[in-house]
Amino acid sequence: MNAIVVVESPAKAKTINKYLGDGFTVLASFGHVRDLPARDGSVRPDEDFAMSWEEDARGDKQVAAIAKALKGADTLYLATDPDREGEAISWHVRAMLESRNMLKGKIVRRITFNEITKSAVQAAMRAPRELDTPLIEAYLARRALDYLVGFTLSPVLWRKLPGSKSAGRVQSVALRLICEREAEIEVFRNREYWTIEAIFTTPAGAPFHARLTHLDGKKLDQFDLPNAEAAERAKAAVERGEFSVVSVEKKRTRRNPPPPFTTSTLQQDASRKLSMTAQQIMRTAQQLYEGVEIGGETVGLITYMRTDGVQMAREAIGAVRSQIGSAFGPDYLPAAPREYQTKAKNAQEAHEAIRPTDFTLTPERASRHLSQEQARLYELIYKRALASQMQSAELDQTSVDIADKAGTTLRATGSILAFDGFLKLYREELDDHAEDEDSRLLPPMAKADPLNRGKVTADQHFTQPPPRFSEATLVKKMEELGIGRPSTYASILTVLRERNYVRMDARRFIPEDRGRLVTAFLVSFFARYVETGFTAALEEKLDEVSDGKLDWRKVMRDFWTDFSNAIDQTKDLKISDVIDALDEELGPHFFPAREDGSDPRVCQACGTGRLGLKLGRYGSFIGCSNYPECQYTRKLAIDGAEDGGDTLRDGMKVLGANPDGIPVTLRRGPYGLYIQLGEPDPEDKKAKPRRAALPKGVTGDDLTLEQALGLLSLPRIVGVHPETKAEIQAGIGRFGPYVKMGPIFASLDRDDDVLAVGLNRAVMVLAKKQEGIRELGPHPKGGDPVMVRKGRFGPYAQHGKTVANLPRGTELDTITLDEAVTLLTEKGKTLAPKGKKGGKPSAKKPAAEPRPAGAKKPPTKAAVKLPAKAAAKQQAGTRPRAKVKPKAK
């Protein structure tokens, strides 16, 4: 037998070739071999959604190699990935080979395997099948929908909303979720509430904490103590009461393990616990799936990572239970295997969960063969899969109610982990206090026990706005709503960042102005197509197509009829109409009603103009209707929200005054917020007031006068080095906070406070920096000492502002003073001032020789006349390339 096997990647081809042996040639398609060309007419609704496919150069090359190998073969096995995209790739490869007339007389079979192991591959070869037509039709429908939405809606955006880049069927809904969450945060107003806690002691002398739940016999809700006065009254009621135990309730609860990973839960957990992006997670999982070399053989470590399923194969469950018994003992093994049911609506796409292919290959053994990123992800997958078949955790929970005769009641709660079960291996949450809560234990108490009251405290709290979406929480939200599919989430989030519709801050999504405008435009003119309900319903129809229950062309016709009508209705829209619609849509959000009833749109600068949405060359902003007389503008955000809660009237906020009575103000400049001491002297224009930028992590809302004065006083003296007796200073420079000793600078960490960093910490940071610095001694010509340092591009010598790279292979510890001085003399370059390029000064250009009288001036470069074609090329920005022809003899 001579057979050709087509897989997607070269790494997979190499591994599978070893498993199949002689008689099989395994080749890679390198993913998709053709696609819809990025131009109008690739999908033609008038021809019942006929599609034109185009082969790219790489795809054409790979199919040509497959066609060449097929000449001497009798069977073609299409072994691409076991999902919708894999089915589509096999379909494309077969279609391209048929167009080249290469399949005549050949047997074509489709095989799939969920893991790249010898047994799984050989089992797949024994059970070939035909291509799955419904799955291919579901791919065609999705591809056509995404093309029609993108190539029909995006041009409308370009024409009607300059600066916009693209829209997408799922991408735009995800962007709307981010924008709506940001809007909730911006309009959120903190609400104050108080809680009362007291320390009690049992008759045996054991202390514990309890919280007030009832006052005067009435149950307290969250906001029933809204201010300090109410809190003090409640505190006084607790302080004058005599308390005893009125009830003790004990119960044992069980916590079951979570199921093994699906694509979306893997992205959520790895994002939270490993701080990886969705793209990093899927790339690393792909590497683990395709395999790494262990003991001279390439082995796939996990099953296929694009899946909605939570079930495991029977043989895998047996292997898991065997590993649990040997590693943890019989107490951690349930009597019967755990069964999990998939939530996916499409059974054909719900494959086995993500799990290790070999449970005896523990993370400790595997890590020797993996990169750090691969090892961390493998450990997470391994522990989750193993924990899913472990015994439940058991907790003993206790609740104690304490009351006095006046109806004042407090409650104390506690729990203890009676049996850790799966928690011994895997914890789903990342709460720092989770372990404390599991191990908190109340002292023994019984009903009617008298209690001694200790300290009573009243604590102030404020409600918090909903958090911004992280990659993990956005993926979870999209999955809950049924938007998109897990295999596409990573690419959707990447596109939103690449289009500059969102940015990431502290690993959270923040919508950019452009993203807000695009969302407002789509909500105003295409509301139906960015509704979560409509998008989820369309996904369900596509799932029915892949299940063979619905005709894909009918789905397309139903969608296109309404969508094309919505597009036609925007043809006569003027940009001014769009701006007015967006201004009306965003108005209630950016100009919320004021408590005093005044008009929130009145211009703060001129007092007569009306503020509204404007569109400029560099994006959107809020401006005054009295332009150009009034040039007041502000960022596209709620008034004050862009400063972390501060309202900078006329771009300034007074924080207070320094001890000399000079005002300290917070201002907005072109590079962000800064602090200024006093005002410029109108008589001395060169004298500028002292200024300081805000460090990272400090917002206008957080800044106090004390902090501002501290920042203005930088650099400050931290102390004297205990060994060198040199003075150490702390300050903020171009690259953030630092400490400095003589010529040595060392950056402080993100957690260090430049205003409070102490001598011990400063010495430690400088010592770490000095590990890469060595002082050789004084330069023969005087001045600063000669130093050698570690740099980004290797070690170098330095004297003052002159530096020279050390020869390749030279270590800091081996170079001598004389060698360094020679290098600095021969190859030294002068460090440039800020904003200027360094290097040796260039030699002066020699003066031109005098031209004899009457001689014509030589033509300049610009004066040389080019032929017509060459001139046209140069005008278009391309330099004509000279053609050299040999002279004829």
Average pLDDT over residues 423-437: 61
Confidence class of residue 647 from pLDDT cuts 50, 70 and 90? very low
Contact status, residue 459 vs residue 173, Cβ threshold 8 Å: no
745 three-state secondary structure: strand
Is residue 655 over pLDDT 70? yes
- Provide, rounded to the nearest whole percent, the portion of the chain with pLDDT above 70: 87
C-alpha torsion sign, points 883, 884, 887, 888: negative
Contact status, residue 180 vs residue 514, Cβ threshold 8 Å: no
Identity of the amino acid at 833: P
Could you tell me where the DSSP H helices lie in 221-262? 228-240
The predicted-structure confidence for 141-192, as pLDDT tens digits, reads as follows: 999 999 998 888 888 887 777 667 778 889 999 999 999 999 888 888 889 9
How many other CB atoms are there within 10 angstroms of residue 664's CB atom? 21
How would you class 483 by CB atoms within 10 Å of its CB: exposed for 0-12, middle for 13-18, buried for 19 or more? buried
What per-residue confidence (pLDDT) applies to 46?
A: 92
Nearest to 113 by CA among 301, 283, 304: 304
CATH code, 192-256+394-462:
2.70.20.10
Identity of the amino acid at 2: N
Could you tell me where the DSSP H helices lie in 627-785? 705-712, 759-770
| Token couple for 772 | 């890469």
Is residue 642 over pLDDT 50? no
Tell me the angle at which helices 532-546 and 471-481 cross, rounded to the nearest 10 degrees: 70
How would you class 841 by CB atoms within 10 Å of its CB: exposed for 0-12, middle for 13-18, buried for 19 or more? exposed
Confidence class of residue 832 from pLDDT cuts 50, 70 and 90? low
Average pLDDT over residues 686-696: 82
The predicted-structure confidence for 572-624, as pLDDT tens digits, reads as follows: 778 778 888 888 877 777 787 777 778 888 887 788 888 888 876 655 678 88
Question: Which of 196-200, 593-597, 786-790, 814-818: highest mean pLDDT?
Answer: 196-200
Alpha-carbon distance of 752 to 761, in angstroms, equals 9
Nearest to 26 by CA among 146, 141, 159, 121: 121
Confidence class of residue 335 from pLDDT cuts 50, 70 and 90? very high
C-alpha distances out from residue 357 to 114, 121, 375, 554, Å: 9, 12, 15, 41
Alpha-carbon distance of 552 to 541, in angstroms, equals 9
Contact status, residue 267 vs residue 471, Cβ threshold 8 Å: yes
Nearest to 272 by CA among 476, 437, 422, 505: 476
Is residue 858 over pLDDT 80? no
- Provide, rounded to the nearest whole percent, the portion of the chain with pLDDT above 90: 36
Alpha-carbon distance of 642 to 634, in angstroms, equals 10
What per-residue confidence (pLDDT) applies to 313?
A: 86
Average pLDDT over residues 121-140: 92
Fold of 146-183+473-495+510-576: Topoisomerase I; domain 2 (1.10.460)
DSSP designation for 1: -
| Token couple for 614 | 């404007």
Confidence class of residue 833 from pLDDT cuts 50, 70 and 90? low
Residue 824: φ, ψ to 5°: -65, -35
What per-residue confidence (pLDDT) applies to 636?
A: 65
Q: Write down the mean pLDDT value for the chain.
A: 83
- Residues with a known catalytic role: 304
Residue 124: φ, ψ to 5°: -65, -40
Is residue 888 over pLDDT 80? no
Is residue 468 over pLDDT 90? yes
Contacts of 430 (CB under 8 A, 6+ apart): 272, 273
What per-residue confidence (pLDDT) applies to 756?
A: 84
Alpha-carbon distance of 76 to 94, in angstroms, equals 9
Alpha-carbon distance of 263 to 476, in angstroms, equals 11
| Token couple for 252 | 């044992």
Alpha-carbon distance of 493 to 487, in angstroms, equals 12
Strand partners, 35: 54
Is residue 361 over pLDDT 80? yes
Question: Which of 365-369, 585-589, 696-700: highest mean pLDDT?
Answer: 365-369
Alpha-carbon distance of 513 to 636, in angstroms, equals 6
Question: Could you tell me the residue ranges of all domains in the chain?
Answer: 3-131, 146-183+473-495+510-576, 192-256+394-462, 263-391, 591-639, 774-821
Is residue 816 over pLDDT 90? no
Residues shown for the chain? 889
What per-residue confidence (pLDDT) applies to 437?
A: 45
Domain 263-391, CATH number (from 1.10.290.10, 3.20.20.150, 1.10.1240.10, 3.40.50.970): 1.10.290.10
Contact status, residue 197 vs residue 212, Cβ threshold 8 Å: yes
Fold of 3-131: Rossmann fold (3.40.50)
Place of tokens 């009145």: 602
> What is the maximum span of the chain, computed from C-alpha positions, in angstroms?
123
Average pLDDT over residues 241-255: 93
